[in-house]
């Protein structure tokens, strides 16, 4: 199943949360925080400007990004939970 975001929206797959603490203690699901990092898996065509033109997005498929803790809307596509958010909710791209 595929999803194609519209305009300036981006679909993100969250990265796996840490299951162990810095001291090596295994954490249960209830004690782990949802990560604020993810991988872009789909992007829209771009933001529509007031003059009617479209500005392409700064992120592309495959980018690893940082976003706010409460950014986006979580959607379930098949068995997978994904985030759909506007490009402006992304704080930055993680570069190696």
SS3 89: helix
**What pTM, to 2 d.p., does this model score?**
0.78
**CA dist 53 to 6, 37, 50, Å?**
15, 30, 7
Per-residue pLDDT tens over the stretch 15-63? 876 666 567 676 665 555 566 899 999 999 998 899 989 899 999 999 9
What pLDDT shows up at residue 1?
Answer: 61
> Among residues 68, 70, 65, which one has the least CA distance to residue 92?
65
Residue-wise pLDDT tens digits, 66-96: 998 888 999 998 888 999 999 999 999 999 7
Report which DSSP code applies to 78. Answer: T
Whole-number Å distance between alpha carbons of 42 and 15:
15
Query: Would you say residue 9 has pLDDT above 90?
Result: yes
H-run or E-run covering 37? strand 37-43
């Amino acid at each position: 199943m595929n999803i194609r975001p519209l305009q300036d929206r981006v679909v993100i797959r969250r990265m796996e949360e840490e299951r162990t603490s810095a001291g090596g203690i295994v954490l249960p699901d209830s004690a782990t925080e949802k990560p604020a990092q993810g991988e872009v898996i789909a992007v829209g065509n771009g933001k529509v400007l007031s003059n009617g033109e479209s500005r392409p997005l700064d992120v592309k498929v495959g980018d690893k990004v940082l976003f706010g803790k409460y950014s986006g809307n979580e959607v379930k596509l098949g068995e997978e939970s994904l985030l759909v958010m506007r490009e402006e909710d992304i704080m930055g791209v993680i570069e190696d």
